Chains A and B, each alone.
Chain A
Amino acid sequence: MSEAQNTILDIRNLDISFKTNAGVIHAIRGANIDLCKGETIAVVGESGSGKSVTMKAVMGLLDSNATVNSGEIIYNYVDASGKKQSVDLLKMPKKQLRQQINGQRIAMVFQDPMTSLDPTMTIGKQIMEGMFLHKNMSKEAARARAIELLELVGIPEAEKRFKNYPHQLSGGMRQRVVIAIALSADPDILICDEPTTALDVTIQARILELIMDIQKKMGLSVIYITHDLGVVAKVADYVLVMYAGKVVEIGNVNDIFYDPRHPYTWGLLSAMPDLDTDDDRLYSIPGSPPNLLHEPKGDAFAARNPFAMVIDEKAEPPMFEISRTHRAATWLLHPDAPKIEMPPELKARIKRAQKEAEKYL
């Protein structure tokens, strides 16, 4: 998001559709995301907004009924000889992608630790697999490294745990193992697909801290996919808000949390309860995301947007630049649009939050 030279992953105009029995679902409609080295971005949005599909496209894990219609995913890296390389992951054959990229350069932490480990293999073996695949390590070296990784992710008695099967570990421990697996071949990019959704609240914070800690130690770039804005505020440098297969607002954490511009972001923030929420009912965005079987005309959010204008029904809004770091796709930002403020309740809440934050400065 800052200098172009530092961009490690650049997703441009990604457009993906799925063939289903009901028809063709246009799930991703021109998403643009870029990630700089060492940075953390968070992709937020409701279920079905396309955040997971986008990341699956990066990993080459799309289901067989998916078609990539257009776009590119450019990955920039420095190869073994120190030369800068740039490849389009979408054009890579699967075999090559698995051999050269997956695990080794871009790794992923999945949502549900209860199901993402092979139940018939010891966790030690599962961690070592990545090293055998990409690093040609000897068995002893891999074993030592795996135990080191288990210690790094905070598993006590790593030596003993090495021989455990997944069912012998709790959910939080298993997610640590999944993280250790992701780190096993020293990747550049770590994609975390809702890494804490399936865990109980007390463990969530610890897993997030662990990922942040490792990120610092290993210089990783991290992409979080989440619908938990609490997670976003804690970990992210930049936030991308996705809606109906598109990025509708991008900004750094302060932009998104203190100065949101897209009515959808307003809705998301209002739907997040805080300690001072005194309303009887928790706010939720009215309606549900559009059915992408039938392509929405104009702005996809128009139907749920209390501030929608005539133009929203007719044409899709472009990205308007608000500041160097902050952009949003809503016609409300057009110079000719009437000036509309965010809902007063949200404004009051942001003020409270800002005051709260100042205490810690």
Chain B
Amino acid sequence: MTKYILKRIGMALLTLLIITFLLFLLVRIMPGNPFPSERMSADQIANKRAEMGLDDPIHIQFFRYLGGVLQGDFGKGTSLYNGAPIKTVLSTAISNSFRIGGMAILLGTFVGLVLGITAALHKGKFLDGFCTVFSILGVCVPSYVFLIFLQYTFSFRIPFFPYFFDPTRFAFSAVIPSVSLSLFTMSTIARFTRNEMVEVFDSDYVRLAEAKGMYGRELVTKHVLRNALIPIVTVLAPLVVDLLTGALVVEKIYGINGIGKLMVDAIAGEGIDYNYVLALGILYSALYIGIMLVVDLLYGVLDPRIRVTAKVREA
């Protein structure tokens, strides 16, 4: 098992290295200028390029960059924040996005599971219909629409929550973005949980458990939930990454200095900030790869059929 985990981690790191290289190449190929060129003369740009080593051959640039990254140094922004170290800017953004995203994940998963289980247990009845309508709404309506709606209702009409994000009152001002971000996850999880549970309820092994004399809560907790949860983990993983990395539009509208907003600024600013785009790209990839690794290992815990063992399968 340890060997398997180590192998998987090794693969993950290798994948990340390849992605870093590709990102590095793509950023260099991208049309546009890394500097706010309208405010700079040709000489200034040439100086800046030389200073940042952008005129060196690309492989030298790459290894220099990689060396920095390995030491935790992502360089400086080429156009954003007057060249402040990316590490500092990024850690604030990560902290904001992760906290808001994390709250959205917890809320979405918990309420989603409750809704899905309720719907499955009342299949075909009113509650099932209610949950279905709710899930369809939650999946179809983009989160920023909810955000604007909540902002209008609970900040403007009823001035209870802050109108814009306020880092000094973090918990309080995180409510509106977290709730609006959680709705998509909530609906997806609710729909999946319901469908999986209904399927498991129809399965032969639940029939057998009933024939054994099991019913009600015991049947659900011992046989239905665990089997229904396995596929839900798969759906949850990409949702987690999406939420952690912040929602571009939600962060922009609510004025949150998060990863999403940083990404928009890095690409759509005066110049394309090479180093920010790269750092964020690596961060996204690392998160995806990391979460997928966790999910794969979690599968083994949940589903004995996938568990890797040294034992030979006997007939």
Contact = CB atoms under 8 A, between A and B. Distances in A.
Q: How large is the interface on A (under 10, 10 to 19, 20 to 34, 35 or more residues)?
A: 35 or more
Given A129-B209, A168-B314, A110 B214 contact: no
A104 interface: yes
Nearest to B304: A165
Nearest to A122: B304
B48 interface: no
A148 B204 CA distance: 25
B216 to A, nearest CB: 7
Contact of B216 (A95, A181, A185): A95
27 contacts: A60-B210, A61-B207, A98-B210, A98-B213, A107-B211, A110-B207, A110-B208, A115-B203, A115-B205, A116-B207, A118-B208, A118-B223, A119-B227, A119-B304, A120-B230, A120-B302, A120-B304, A121-B222, A133-B212, A134-B213, A165-B305, A167-B305, A168-B311, A168-B314, A178-B208, A182-B211, A184-B212
Given A118-B223, A119-B205, A129 B211 contact: no
B49 to A, nearest CB: 59
Contacts of A94: 215
A110 B204 contact: yes
B227 A185 contact: no
Interface string B275-315: 00000000000000000000000000011110000010111
B226 interface: yes
Nearest to B215: A98
A76 to B, nearest CB: 19
Interface string A132-144: 0110000000000
A61 to B, nearest CB: 6
Contacts of A184: 212
A118 B227 contact: yes
A116 B204 contact: yes
B212 A130 contact: yes
Interface in A39-62: 59-61
A130 B304 CA distance: 22
Nearest to A65: B124
B313 A168 contact: yes
B211 A95 contact: no
Given A61-B207, A110-B207, A178-B208, A119 B303 contact: yes
A115 B305 contact: no
